[in-house]
Chains A and B, each alone.
Chain A
């Protein structure tokens, strides 16, 4: 992949659910290869909607979506998109529907027309890469929350995507799984957009963090998450600091 190629380009995209207020208003956004973008924004600001528009699960009311340099509109345009972009759902129970882990991970490759033994090989390799060796025959609904999240990621990575869209990947994970997931994401040679509420998760896994406001992504205002350490007398008592005049 050549660094700097535009992978996803949204121009003036608007969307609203029937009978509701507009969720996205005239949104512009682009993702270049090599980018690891974090989006942090309150609930209901349209982050998940944005992902669903990119994947073609929802259609914009107006605006233009270009993916890998092609203007995508029809359901058939998105077949290619879905092969090259992987979406990790917020709820792993939505993503894992096969009885066993191996079948679920092999589902994507099989849909891409891979022969059975190759699909199984890819599935095993992906599971091993995520440290999930020995999970092949586990029953998907009997996995723990953290295991479900990692297996979901495996089902997405098994399709060998070029871009990942991650919807709250760190949510509800225990500290160990969370740390493992951060390590995995940092080690991936992929561009991705990551939605999260958790400041530390997002700063550990992305290079640029934006916020959403009034149905737009504020690319003009890059957020920098930071903290200050300072000391003064009676600092252990609860207190507030005034912003500079």
Chain B
């Protein structure tokens, strides 16, 4: 089952207005992505950790998510230092590792971790439905928001259908191997999933028409920023400004 392990909680972060968290996370991500200086990037990583500590999330789960991204980062470390031109720092056999190459790989590592941790702390701590409505209130176009919400709603139904298909395949003794039969079976499963998704979409649309759907959705959720939200946005702005100062110094 696809789950949202961080969405439920009662920390200060969870209680903060989702709109403020969303805007903060976006501004922060843009800022950090543009930084080049190591002091600023290190400070950003530290700030992300502070944000994470406010969200009080299970550390194991957070590390699992970070591991996914850092797998990709390891791949970059294997390539960038040896392909980026510049002053050589050391060599392994005929391969030369350049100083700017290593610096670049280090920057990417710091940036991606800082941004990811901040997003886990700020955005993953709200249920996806709430994220949708927060985006809606921030004037993100209706169509995008509804694509997001409908995808979220039906991804679970499709997952169930996928599980059902896989069960049907397994109880008839299917064992995946490296052969044409396996590829064909998977292709059938995926194809069938598309067919079922399309049919489901049609029935959902019919159900919506029956309830007088006029291509407009209505959001019932209302958000209140409150004093906590105000304090949080001030602190975030100050921190971001501080990071910019360190970067430009």
Q: Footprint of B on A, CB under 8 Å?
A: 52, 55, 57, 79, 82-83, 86-87, 89, 91, 93-95, 97-100, 102-103, 106-108, 110-112, 116, 119-120, 139-141, 155-156, 159
Q: Whole-angstrom distance between the alpha carbons of A227 and B194 in the complex?
A: 46
- Partner of A86 from the list B152, B210, B220 (CB cut-off 8 Å) is B210
Report A-chain residues with C-beta under 8 Å of the C-beta of B210: 55, 57, 82, 86-87
Report B-chain residues with C-beta under 8 Å of the C-beta of A97: 150, 153-154, 204, 207-208
Interface residues of B in 78-137 (CB under 8 A from A): 127-129, 132
Which of B44-52, B68-76, B211-219 touches A? B211-219
* B contact patch SS: helix
B160-203 contact mask (Cβ, 8 Å, vs A): 1 or 0 = 00000000000000000000000000000000000000001001
Q: Which residue from chain B places its CB closest to the CB of A108 in the assembled complex?
A: B211
Pull 13 A–B residue pairs with CB atoms less than 8 Å apart, ordered by A.
A87-B210, A93-B157, A94-B207, A97-B204, A97-B207, A98-B153, A99-B132, A102-B220, A103-B218, A107-B208, A108-B212, A110-B218, A156-B211
Report B-chain residues with C-beta under 8 Å of the C-beta of A119: 218, 220
**Ranked 7 nearest A-B pairs via Cβ:** A99-B129, A111-B212, A94-B203, A108-B211, A110-B218, A95-B207, A141-B156
Q: Footprint of A on B, CB under 8 Å?
A: 127-129, 132, 149-150, 152-154, 156-157, 200, 203-204, 206-214, 216, 218, 220
Whether A106 contacts B218 in the complex (CB less than 8 A), given A83-B212, A112-B212, comes out as yes
Report B-chain residues with C-beta under 8 Å of the C-beta of A93: 157, 200
Q: Whole-angstrom distance between the alpha carbons of A119 and B219 in the complex?
A: 12
Q: Given A87-B207, A89-B203, A98-B153, output 9 extra A-B contacts at Cβ < 8 Å.
A: A57-B209, A91-B203, A93-B157, A102-B220, A106-B218, A106-B220, A111-B216, A141-B153, A155-B211
* A contact patch SS: helix
Q: Whole-angstrom distance between the alpha carbons of A155 and B207 in the complex?
A: 10
Report B-chain residues with C-beta under 8 Å of the C-beta of A112: 212
Report B-chain residues with C-beta under 8 Å of the C-beta of A98: 149, 153
Report B-chain residues with C-beta under 8 Å of the C-beta of A94: 200, 203-204, 206-207
Q: Which residue from chain A places its CB closest to the CB of B220 in the assembled complex?
A: A103
Report A-chain residues with C-beta under 8 Å of the C-beta of B132: 99
A-B contact count (CB 8 A): 77
Contact B218 A89 (CB under 8 A): no
Whether A159 contacts B149 in the complex (CB less than 8 A), given A94-B204, A106-B220, A120-B220, comes out as no
Report B-chain residues with C-beta under 8 Å of the C-beta of A107: 208, 211, 213, 218
CB distance from A58 to the nearest CB of B (A): 9
Q: Whole-angstrom distance between the alpha carbons of A57 and B128 in the complex?
A: 31
Report A-chain residues with C-beta under 8 Å of the C-beta of B214: 111
Report A-chain residues with C-beta under 8 Å of the C-beta of B127: 99, 139
Q: Whole-angstrom distance between the alpha carbons of A52 and B118 in the complex?
A: 49
Report B-chain residues with C-beta under 8 Å of the C-beta of A82: 209-212
CB distance from A63 to the nearest CB of B (A): 21
Q: Whole-angstrom distance between the alpha carbons of A78 and B208 in the complex?
A: 13
Q: Whole-angstrom distance between the alpha carbons of A112 and B211 in the complex?
A: 9
CB distance from A207 to the nearest CB of B (A): 25
Interface centre among B152, B208, B210 (most CB of A within 10 A): B210
Contact B212 A141 (CB under 8 A): no
Q: Which residue from chain B places its CB closest to the CB of A95 in the assembled complex?
A: B207
Q: Which residue from chain B places its CB closest to the CB of A140 in the assembled complex?
A: B153
Q: Whole-angstrom distance between the alpha carbons of A82 and B156 in the complex?
A: 28
